């Protein structure tokens, strides 16, 4: 399909309600779909945007269903772009960071076969099977020697997975069960259908979704598969629909994948509960915006792509230009000079920009164009709820999460799943004394609500205001955005001596170039009376340098008019702003372990609060700000400039 026709065809589907991703997926796969309703159903996907991120690929599903990982295919590596070439990053192996072609070949010899599987579960996705064949190898029957295998691996698309191969029991791999769960009015998922599918068109290369239905089953016939599907459904009670594919293999029940509705594209006969769910989704899509709104977003995305940007980062650059134009401490001539070179005008003072040195520094324009440095898996950190699920083995490093809200419904974070009530939140608040409510997607502390219990009045308190129990229920149930209700993090007593009104955070930069994660840079953000519930530098916060090796903090400054000025003592408490951060060795060790787990990401900024018992990670940034860029070590600057050069340097905007 040529580029012009593809763009026009995609635009036509977007006008009909498709997302950009599902439009492209449908255009690639429509020739193999034998269902007249396929286009209608694809236009309604994803059925739940936030949960779809968690199940659209096997690696994310593996992290999210960590407690069920023994039922999932074992994942050995993921293809990633590193310095312009494809490497295979090792997964879940503390001894290795990169898998060489020899390592992949050794896996095939050890296990007899490994699967080479696309990163995302899409309509036309297929796995290929690499087998050890005497002195050589076969990839889906094609014979390869070691050199040919290395060449194939070097050309793998980014995010391709090297996984355990799970042959289905039965001749031609036919024992694959599909269970479709629909959420009922009470929030519990019920099996809408169970069927046996034939994925044996090519014995060693099953299509992920296109299995021909052999026959419909009763729940009793596939009781174990249904039980596994419902176990997942209970944990994600907000999902309107879950399609769960399960293989009954020679080694027992194995979870093949979880889907948010793509399997419905292959079904010609759907039960009334599924049809009603699709009608609800159609009404929701109409409320999300009309065709002109969608096509406007599509045109903007094309415009951004031509300039090398992701659409939201190009929007961020343009918004930054508008804000910069409003500044009064830089002249119109300075603004014009800086903008033409890709900098915001306040960088002239922050960086000491001159005509002689600006080419040696990383511009705001080029830095925003770099995204995504961390590839597609940065989605794990886009919102706090996704991060919670993905980070299952490291939950001790995060605040304890108790509840999440969505459209007025409260869901508890507990293995048995289900729903909760505002009274459950009230009971939790009375037991804990303090809780924190914050939007699942937000920055700079926007929307943060401290919750506490006043023991004298025996009443709840929201953001400093004492309310009745009924008012508390109404406020919690009336939260418009998805919110997260978690532990209220208390800062270490030694650090409270500086300022005790807000838990101040440390930004820790970790980079993994393939040889292992390393803490490269850190700084301490300190709140003041003018920052409210946050330690935001732009509203009067203080920033101190941190020695990444020792944890010593020093050289504190305040940002005044986008220019840093020395601040030796805290303006409110008078405490000296110099000392050593407690628990620093523990912080450095654990954030490196977290980064290793988050393979294939390589550039992360952790926002951390040090506590009496260790620390808590408030947030992990995949594209942190550049406020401290002049102080970055040479290695970090070289790393970022190298990324810029790979993307393509722009001397003039």
pLDDT tens for residues 40-50? 999 999 899 88
Q: How far apart, in whole angstroms, are the C-alpha atoms of residue 623 and residue 235?
A: 30
Phi, psi of 100 (to 5 degrees): -80, 165
Cα dihedral 387, 392, 394, 395 in deg (nearest 10): 80
**Does residue 190 sit within a domain?**
no
Which of 29-33, 130-134, 221-225, 493-497 shows the lowest per-residue confidence on average (mean pLDDT)? 29-33
Tokens of 545: 């340098």
517 and 569 share one domain: yes
**Does residue 30 sit within a domain?**
no
Confidence of residue 426 (pLDDT cuts 50, 70, 90): very high
379 and 506 share one domain: yes
Q: What is the pLDDT of residue 610?
A: 98
Is residue 482 within 8 Å of residue 430, measured between CB atoms? no
Number of domains in the chain: 4
Q: How far apart, in whole angstroms, are the C-alpha atoms of residue 355 and residue 28?
A: 49
Is residue 99 within 8 Å of residue 90, measured between CB atoms? yes
Look at residues 164, 198, 222 and tell me which one is the last residue of a structural domain.
164
pLDDT for 542-592, tens place per residue? Answer: 999 999 999 999 999 998 877 889 999 999 999 999 999 999 999 999 999
Q: Is 397 helix (H, G, I), strand (E, B) or coil?
A: helix
514 and 457 share one domain: no
648: Cβ contacts below 8 Å, ≥ 6 apart: 308
Confidence of residue 443 (pLDDT cuts 50, 70, 90): low
Q: What is the pLDDT of residue 203?
A: 36
Q: How far apart, in whole angstroms, are the C-alpha atoms of residue 220 and residue 356?
A: 76
HSE-CB of 635 using CA atoms within 13 angstroms: 10
Rounded average pLDDT over 590-619: 95
**Does residue 638 sit within a domain?**
no
Q: What is the pLDDT of residue 238?
A: 92
Residue 446 has pLDDT above 60, yes or no: yes
Look at residues 482, 505, 533 and tell me which one is the last residue of a structural domain.
482
The beta strand positions in 165-321, using DSSP E, are 176-183, 189-198, 212-216, 241-249, 252-259
Q: How far apart, in whole angstroms, are the C-alpha atoms of residue 653 and residue 307?
A: 10
379 and 517 share one domain: yes
Q: Does an H or E element contain 143, and which?
A: strand 142-144
**Does residue 503 sit within a domain?**
yes
Domain hosting 96: range is 74-164
pLDDT for 503-553, tens place per residue? Answer: 999 999 999 987 889 999 999 999 998 888 878 777 778 999 999 999 999
380 and 356 share one domain: no
Confidence of residue 69 (pLDDT cuts 50, 70, 90): very high
Residue 208 has pLDDT above 50, yes or no: no
Is residue 396 within 8 Å of residue 61, measured between CB atoms? no
Edge to edge, what strands does the sheet with 459-462 contain?
Answer: 409-412, 401-406, 483-487, 434-439, 449-454, 459-462, 465-466
Q: Is the dihedral of CA 496, 498, 500, 503 positive or negative?
A: negative
Q: Which residues pair with 453 in a beta bridge?
A: 460
Identify the CA nearest to 528 among candidates 508, 552, 500, 553.
500
**Residue 440 DSSP class:** S
Is residue 602 within 8 Å of residue 623, measured between CB atoms? no
Q: How far apart, in whole angstroms, are the C-alpha atoms of residue 31 and residue 12?
A: 18
586 and 500 share one domain: yes
381 and 520 share one domain: yes
Phi, psi of 260 (to 5 degrees): -105, 35
Is residue 29 within 8 Å of residue 124, measured between CB atoms? yes
**Does residue 411 sit within a domain?**
yes
**Does residue 550 sit within a domain?**
yes
611 and 520 share one domain: yes
Residue 204 has pLDDT above 60, yes or no: no
Q: Which residues pair with 113 in a beta bridge?
A: 131
Residue with tokens 């007249």: 36
382 and 508 share one domain: yes
Q: What is the pLDDT of residue 81?
A: 87
Q: What is the pLDDT of residue 133?
A: 84
613 and 539 share one domain: yes
pLDDT for 210-256, tens place per residue? Answer: 556 777 888 888 999 999 999 999 999 999 999 999 988 888 889 98
Is residue 244 within 8 Å of residue 263, measured between CB atoms? no
Would you say how long the chain is, in residues?
A: 653
Which of 19-33, 203-217, 321-335, 377-391 shows the lowest per-residue confidence on average (mean pLDDT)? 203-217
Look at residues 164, 196, 231 and tell me which one is the last residue of a structural domain.
164
pLDDT for 354-388, tens place per residue? Answer: 999 999 999 999 999 999 999 899 999 999 999 99
560 and 591 share one domain: yes
Average per-residue pLDDT for the chain: 89
**Does residue 422 sit within a domain?**
yes
Question: Residue 488 — left, alpha, or beta (φ > 0 → left; ψ -120 to 50 → alpha)?
Answer: beta
Confidence of residue 304 (pLDDT cuts 50, 70, 90): very high
The share of the chain scoring above pLDDT 70, in percent, equals 95
pLDDT for 188-203, tens place per residue? Answer: 899 999 988 776 544 3
Q: What is the pLDDT of residue 207?
A: 44
409: Cβ contacts below 8 Å, ≥ 6 apart: 187, 238, 419
CA 585, chain centre distance (Å):
27
Q: What is the pLDDT of residue 199?
A: 62
**Does residue 433 sit within a domain?**
yes
Q: What is the pLDDT of residue 32?
A: 79
How many other CB atoms sit within 10 Å of the CB of residue 354? 8
The share of the chain scoring above pLDDT 90, in percent, equals 64
Q: What is the pLDDT of residue 444?
A: 64
Confidence of residue 209 (pLDDT cuts 50, 70, 90): very low
Phi, psi of 42 (to 5 degrees): -60, -35
Question: Exposure string (b/e) for 600-639, b if CB count within 10 Å is 16 or more?
Answer: bbbbbbbbbbbbeeebbbbbbbbbbebbbbeebeeebbeb
Confidence of residue 148 (pLDDT cuts 50, 70, 90): very high
Decide the pairing of beta strands 136-139 and 176-183. unpaired
Residue 5 has pLDDT above 60, yes or no: no
Task: Please indicate whether residue 127 or residue 485 has the higher confidence score (pLDDT).
Answer: 485
Q: How far apart, in whole angstroms, are the C-alpha atoms of residue 157 and residue 574?
A: 56
Cα dihedral 337, 338, 342, 348 in deg (nearest 10): 150
Tokens of 2: 């040529």
Q: How far apart, in whole angstroms, are the C-alpha atoms of residue 515 and residue 349?
A: 36
436 and 510 share one domain: no
HSE-CB of 284 using CA atoms within 13 angstroms: 15
Confidence of residue 595 (pLDDT cuts 50, 70, 90): very high
Confidence of residue 279 (pLDDT cuts 50, 70, 90): very high
Decide the pairing of beta strands 189-198 and 252-259. unpaired
Q: Can you give the three-state secondary structure of 578-606, one letter per residue?
A: CEECCCHHHHHHHHHHHHHHCCCCCEEEE
Q: Is the dihedral of CA 19, 82, 121, 136 positive or negative?
A: positive
* Cα–Cα distance list, 38 to 10, 263, 267, 557, 652 (Å): 16, 10, 9, 59, 46
């Amino acid at each position: 399909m040529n580029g012009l026709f593809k763009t026009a065809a995609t635009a036509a589907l977007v006008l009909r309600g498709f997302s950009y991703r599902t439009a492209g997926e449908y255009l690639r796969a429509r020739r193999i779909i034998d269902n007249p309703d396929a286009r209608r159903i694809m236009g309604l996907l994803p059925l739940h945007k936030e949960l779809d991120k968690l199940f659209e690929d096997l690696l994310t599903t593996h992290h999210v269903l960590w407690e069920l990982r023994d039922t999932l295919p074992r994942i050995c590596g993921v293809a990633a772009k590193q310095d312009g070439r494809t490497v295979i990053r090792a997964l879940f192996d503390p001894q290795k960071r990169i898998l060489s072609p020899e390592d992949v070949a050794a896996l095939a010899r050890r296990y007899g076969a490994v699967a080479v599987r696309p990163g995302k579960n899409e309509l036309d996705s297929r796995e290929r099977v690499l087998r050890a064949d005497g002195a050589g190898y076969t990839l889906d029957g094609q014979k390869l020697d070691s050199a040919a295998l290395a060449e194939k691996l070097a050309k793998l698309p980014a995010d391709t997975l090297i996984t355990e191969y799970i042959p289905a029991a039965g001749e031609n791999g036919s024992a694959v069960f599909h269970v479709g769960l629909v959420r009922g009015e009470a929030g519990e998922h019920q099996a809408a259908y169970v069927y046996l599918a034939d994925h044996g068109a090519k014995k060693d290369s099953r299509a992920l979704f296109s299995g021909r239905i052999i026959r419909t089953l009763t729940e009793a016939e596939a009781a174990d598969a249904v039980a596994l599907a419902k176990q997942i459904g209970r944990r994600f009670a907000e999902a309107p629909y879950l399609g769960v594919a399960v293989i009954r293999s020679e080694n027992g029940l194995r979870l093949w994948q979880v889907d948010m509705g793509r399997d419905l594209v292959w079904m010609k006969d759907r039960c009334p509960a599924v049809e009603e769910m699709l009608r609800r989704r159609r009404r929701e899509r109409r409320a999300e915006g009309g065709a002109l709104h969608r096509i406007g977003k599509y045109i903007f995305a094309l415009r951004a792509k031509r300039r090398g940007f992701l659409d939201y980062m190009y929007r961020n650059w343009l918004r930054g230009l508008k804000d910069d134009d409003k500044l009064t401490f830089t002249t119109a001539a300075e603004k014009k000079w800086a903008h033409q070179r890709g900098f915001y005008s306040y960088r002239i003072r922050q960086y000491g920009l001159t005509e002689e040195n600006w080419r040696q520094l990383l511009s705001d324009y080029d830095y925003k164009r770099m995204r995504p440095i961390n590839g597609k898996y940065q989605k794990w950190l886009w919102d706090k709820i996704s991060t919670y699920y993905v980070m299952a083995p490291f939950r001790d490093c995060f605040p304890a999460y108790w509840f999440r809200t969505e459209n007025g419904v409260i869901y508890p974070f507990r293995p048995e799943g289900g729903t909760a009530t505002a009274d459950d939140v009230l009971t939790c608040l009375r037991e804990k004394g303090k809780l924190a409510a914050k939007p699942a997607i937000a920055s700079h502390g926007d929307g943060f609500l401290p919750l506490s219990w006043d023991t004298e009045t025996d009443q709840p308190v929201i953001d400093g205001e004492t309310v009745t129990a009924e008012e508390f229920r109404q406020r919690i149930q009336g939260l418009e955005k998805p919110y997260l209700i978690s532990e209220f993090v208390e800062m270490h007593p030694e650090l409270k001596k500086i300022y005790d009104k807000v838990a101040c955070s440390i930004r820790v930069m970790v980079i993994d170039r393939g040889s292992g994660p390393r803490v490269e840079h850190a700084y301490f953000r300190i709140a003041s009376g003018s920052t409210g519930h946050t330690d935001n530098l732009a509203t009067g916060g203080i920033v101190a340098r941190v020695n990444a090796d020792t944890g010593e903090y020093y050289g504190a400054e305040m940002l005044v008019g986008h220019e840093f000025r020395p601040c030796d003592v805290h303006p409110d408490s008078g405490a000296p702003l110099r000392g050593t951060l407690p628990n620093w060795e523990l912080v450095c060790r654990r954030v490196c372990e977290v980064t290793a787990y988050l393979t294939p990401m390589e550039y992360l900024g952790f926002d951390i609060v040090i506590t009496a018992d260790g620390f808590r990670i408030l947030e992990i940034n995949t594209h942190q700000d550049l406020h401290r860029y002049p102080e970055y070590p040479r290695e970090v600057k070289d790393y970022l400039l190298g990324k810029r050069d790979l993307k393509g340097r722009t001397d003039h905007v």
